[in-house]
Structure 1
Amino acid sequence: MPDTVSLKRSLSLPVISFYGIGTIIGAGIYVLIGEVGAAAGLSLPYAFLLAGVIAAFTALSYAELSSRFPVSAGSAAYIWKAWRRPWPAQVVGSLVAITGIVSAATIANGFTGYLGLFIELPHALAITLLVALLTLIALWGINESALTVTLVTLVEVAGLLFVIYVSHDAPPANAWREIFALPEWNALPGLLVGSFLAFYAFIGFEDMVNTAEEVKNPRKSLPRAILIAITVSTVLYMTVAALAVRILPVTQLGQSDAPLASMVTQAGYSPAFIGVISLFAVVNGALVQIIMASRLLYGMAVKNMAPAIFARLNARTRTPILATLLIGAVILAFALWLPLATLAKITSFIMLLVFCLVNAALLTIKNRREKPENAVICYPAWIPVLGFLSCLALMIFAVAS
């Protein structure tokens, strides 16, 4: 039997909004922008815009579903509510948890590279210390964990604003009219490939719904927080992307292992500051994934979609101790032993599949014509339709290419 102790509702709209921004911003923009630029060329801002629009449709579906069903199991719970069969929900929940675990493991590997700029530690030791520390923070309590994420998110956003500030008057490599010219037909394949890669940078908003049982007034606050997080992230991404191809040749941007540091260097500043912030971004991303995966496992256990032992909460911290420890251990194992070079593409594909199913779930629920509660936020049916079709189209293109 699950414990009678309930999760603590302590997250306000500002905190959960910053938490959401933190789930989105991180390794994607700090590392992936160079690879997106290599694919999309001068259309880099459009690649992020297209990815953001595709993500926004699904984000609206998540916003409505989180308002209808403010529970911790997130995507798995929505699939269950739509089709009321355990196996689709279990599959979706497992896929989401796997992507979170693999992402965190990859981020942990990336941490050692950034750390090497300042201090040399054995690779395995650095990863072990990082994962252990972040698991302890996640065990500490959701309010403390979310506060940590919020503070680090402020640092991340400050880093992007710093890059924007130092880059805005740097010597240009490309003209604005070239950057914002509509892509020609022969550039569309590169733009779509870039959008598929850029989509990875938007993955994370769906993690927010896994804290639904810890949010104050979740039916109103959670949908608003999701939309705030998507909007802020898209604006920041597009601004940084536009400046990246403004001051760096596309070839140089695509070949850079630290593209934001390259931008700062090109602008005539030391890359040390943005290097430190990149470390914060990596740490933040890993912590968010640990919280997400552990809450998802907890929520699935409560719904009898995972072993009941993972539904146990600590009476003092009200956190799922065993679920968090298991997630931390698996992340550590993956980070130490698995090669994850193609993580971005694999994660994007899996999450696009999940998003297709979630949009289909919302359509199924809407078609029942059941009257929702008064406090539920409802969007037109064309929102999940476009969410489903756009995710499916990007998946098909990824397979075809």
Structure 2
Amino acid sequence: MSPAPHSPRTPMSPSRRPGARVKSPELLLAESGTDLEGHGLRRTMGLFQLVCFGVGAIVGTGIFVGLSDSVAEAGPAVVVSFVLAATTCVFTAFSFAELGGAVPVSGSSYSFAYATLGERVAFLVGWCLLLEYGVSVSAVAVGWSQYVDELLDSLVGLHLPTALSAGPGDGGVINLPAVVVVMMAATLLVRGIRESAGATAAMAVLKIGILIAFCAIAFTAFEDGHLSPFAPHGVAGVTAGASVAFFSYIGFDAITTAGEEVKNPRRNIPIAILICIGLVTLLYCAVALGAIGALGADPVSGRPAALSLVVDQVTDSSVGGGIIAFGAVVAIASVVLAVMYGQTRILMSMSRDGLIPRIFERVSPRTHTPVANTWIVAVLFALPAAFSSLDVVVNLTTIGTLAVMAVVNIAVITLRRDHPALPRSFRVPLYPLSPVVGVGFCVYLMYGTGWTTWAQFALFLAVGALIYSRYGRGRSRLVSSGETAPAATGSPEA
């Protein structure tokens, strides 16, 4: 039986930690599955759909468009860069798996931080997630526009007018295709999670098949000589390449934002996270090795549609490149869909807590989706996609995401200490070494983004802290009265 919703006028009880604005896991679980209006989200996603949702959130622009940027930094050693970025994700994935199984709610990293490190840190995590998801969706939408143009060229020999397919920074006026894909995703999201999950699953299967087909074609032209010199820029190049390649993994944490709409979340969330990281890492390394082995690092470097180029040259035909372009269009659209979904659920959790306006928490009784929230997010994400190339903020997105992941690793340690008896369907291996190493890898890759990015990130956090102190703190529904949080009256799997 689902727990009764708390009254919006009743202050939420904090955890037992005196003087700290920390929301207990028991309270988070008691609130899960219902919003303050009493209209709950529905648990309709199974394990297969959740894995496809994760793949849909990860595989997109990073490999179809961003591969060339990673190759430019690391050369053939980009494979090592992908493994290094994946290793960072694996340690953090362990932490996400434990937290997602212990506290299966829709707020993801934000909720995990709230339950362990307090409200201020949680707000800043939510602020960073807005950067991670918002910028990545906008950047992905711009990449989608590029591949739509590539697909039209392959099919009918036409190119979209630059004025209508690129922002002012890229010589155009407005990027209409980027706006279209964001609005299409929003339309599907407001219809319901079942429809969105079904579409994401179909697109995920299709793009995995196309990437496997790419590898099969590229490896027919593989030459050992194309891998030499293997690391032309040394260790520094591999590290820089890993920082760039990390952008290709952004999105796997979106799996935990589905905590209130997944069947048997304690079991399925940890399994889905680990499957996604393993599958995506194998795909990325195989694609990178195939592309460089077929043409060499220099032809791949600096080419946004590098995969289409490889297939065209290997097959001596534009048909294969057209198929890859079609796969990229589908793949990137699924990223927009999955990441926008994650962003709306995080904002809904923050709104429930009073830290942002209440409009973000309202769930439609007809579709069981946050309709107003979704359309606001769509407009906010479509605007930068329409008028910017977003290249200048990719590093800022990366450092913000890595900071959130470092917090998640710390949250595992804090939750183990403060709530040792909390049921956990998955436990990180080699605790506490695993989360500590996870923090170390995150900081290492953050260092690789450069000091300019660090300065931008510091300013970004300062703005977030100011918003929290002037708006969120005074409107928070959590009180510091020292009361104990009520235990959940219903199972999160109910």
Q: Same fold (TM over 0.5)?
A: yes
Among 73, 81, 93, the alignment partner of 1:59 is: 93
Q: Does 1:273 align with 2:307?
A: no
Deviates more, 1:238-247 or 1:217-226: 238-247
Match in the other structure for 2:42 = 8
Q: Does 1:349 align with 2:399?
A: yes
Give the whole-Å Cα distance in 2 for the aligned partners of 1:240 and 1:253. 12
Size of the aligned set, in residue pairs, is 395
Match in the other structure for 1:296 = 346
Among 33, 49, 61, the alignment partner of 1:27 is: 61
Counterpart contact for 2:188–2:195, Cα < 8 Å: yes
Q: Does 1:377 align with 2:414?
A: no
Aligned-pair RMSD on alpha carbons?
1.9
Name the structure where helix makes up a greater proportion of residues.
1
Q: Does 1:103 align with 2:153?
A: no
Partner secondary structure for residue 79 of structure 1: helix
Q: Does 1:340 align with 2:374?
A: no
Write the deviation string for residues 264-292 of structure 1: whole angstroms up to 9, x where unpaired: 12311431111111111221111122111
Give the whole-Å Cα distance in 1 for the aligned partners of 2:187 and 2:302. 37
Cα deviation for residue 163 of structure 1 reads 0.6
Give the whole-Å Cα distance in 2 for the aligned partners of 1:343 and 1:282. 19
Give the whole-Å Cα distance in 1 for the aligned partners of 2:419 and 2:148. 54
Cα deviation for residue 242 of structure 1 reads 1.2
Give the whole-Å Cα distance in 2 for the aligned partners of 1:93 and 1:16. 22
Deviates more, 1:304-313 or 1:56-65: 304-313
Consecutive unaligned residues in structure 2, runs of 5 or more:
1-7, 9-35, 153-157, 166-173, 453-494
Cα deviation for residue 388 of structure 1 reads 0.6
Cα deviation for residue 304 of structure 1 reads 2.8
Counterpart contact for 2:58–2:248, Cα < 8 Å: yes
Match in the other structure for 2:177 = 126
Match in the other structure for 1:285 = 335
Write the deviation string for residues 294-328 of structure 1: whole angstroms up to 9, x where unpaired: 11111222233322221111112110111111101
Give the whole-Å Cα distance in 2 for the aligned partners of 1:264 and 1:399. 34
Partner secondary structure for residue 116 of structure 2: helix
Query: Which amino acid is 1:289 matched to?
Result: V
4+ residue stretches of structure 1 with deviation over 3 A?
none
Query: Which amino acid is 1:206 matched to?
Result: D
Give the whole-Å Cα distance in 1 for the aligned partners of 2:380 and 2:226. 47
How high is the sequence identity, in percent, across the aligned residues?
Answer: 27
Match in the other structure for 1:137 = 188
Give the whole-Å Cα distance in 2 for the aligned partners of 1:362 and 1:304. 25
Give the whole-Å Cα distance in 1 for the aligned partners of 2:198 and 2:262. 13
Write the deviation string for residues 19-57 of structure 1: whole angstroms up to 9, x where unpaired: 111111111011111111111112121111111111110
Deviates more, 1:96-105 or 1:164-173: 164-173
Partner secondary structure for residue 448 of structure 2: helix
Give the whole-Å Cα distance in 2 for the aligned partners of 1:231 and 1:40. 22
TM (norm. structure 2) is: 0.76
Match in the other structure for 2:478 = none
Give the whole-Å Cα distance in 2 for the aligned partners of 1:279 and 1:260. 13
Give the whole-Å Cα distance in 2 for the aligned partners of 1:109 and 1:339. 7
1:1-400 paired onto structure 2 within 5 Å: 1=8, 2-83=36-117, 85-117=118-150, 118=152, 120=160, 122-123=164-165, 124=174, 125-170=176-221, 172=223, 174=225, 187-268=234-315, 269-270=317-318, 271-368=321-418, 370-373=420-423, 375-379=424-428, 380-399=431-450
Give the whole-Å Cα distance in 1 for the aligned partners of 2:339 and 2:149. 23
Give the whole-Å Cα distance in 2 for the aligned partners of 1:400 and 1:336. 29
TM (norm. structure 1) is: 0.94
Distance verdict in 2 for CA 1:369–1:313, change over 3 Å: closer
Write the deviation string for residues 120-170 of structure 1: whole angstroms up to 9, x where unpaired: 363343333322221111111112111111111112111101111111111
Give the whole-Å Cα distance in 1 for the aligned partners of 2:189 and 2:412. 31
Write the deviation string for residues 344-394 of structure 1: whole angstroms up to 9, x where unpaired: 322111101111111112112222362122x53222222211111110111
Give the whole-Å Cα distance in 2 for the aligned partners of 1:332 and 1:38. 29
Give the whole-Å Cα distance in 2 for the aligned partners of 1:292 and 1:369. 26
Counterpart contact for 1:160–1:236, Cα < 8 Å: yes
Cα deviation for residue 250 of structure 1 reads 1.2
Counterpart contact for 2:82–2:285, Cα < 8 Å: yes
Partner secondary structure for residue 115 of structure 2: helix
Give the whole-Å Cα distance in 1 for the aligned partners of 2:132 and 2:444. 21
Query: Which amino acid is 2:192 matched to?
Result: G
Deviates more, 1:391-400 or 1:6-15: 391-400
Give the whole-Å Cα distance in 1 for the aligned partners of 2:250 and 2:334. 14
Deviates more, 1:301-310 or 1:272-281: 301-310
Give the whole-Å Cα distance in 2 for the aligned partners of 1:15 and 1:255. 35
Instruction: Mark the structure with the bigger radius of gyration.
Output: 2
Give the whole-Å Cα distance in 1 for the aligned partners of 2:139 and 2:226. 36
Give the whole-Å Cα distance in 2 for the aligned partners of 1:21 and 1:220. 18
Cα deviation for residue 171 of structure 1 reads 5.1
Counterpart contact for 1:247–1:266, Cα < 8 Å: no
Counterpart contact for 2:60–2:140, Cα < 8 Å: no
Give the whole-Å Cα distance in 2 for the aligned partners of 1:344 and 1:126. 20
Give the whole-Å Cα distance in 1 for the aligned partners of 2:132 and 2:441. 20
Counterpart contact for 2:41–2:260, Cα < 8 Å: yes
Partner secondary structure for residue 369 of structure 2: coil
Give the whole-Å Cα distance in 1 for the aligned partners of 2:197 and 2:314. 34
Give the whole-Å Cα distance in 1 for the aligned partners of 2:178 and 2:312. 28
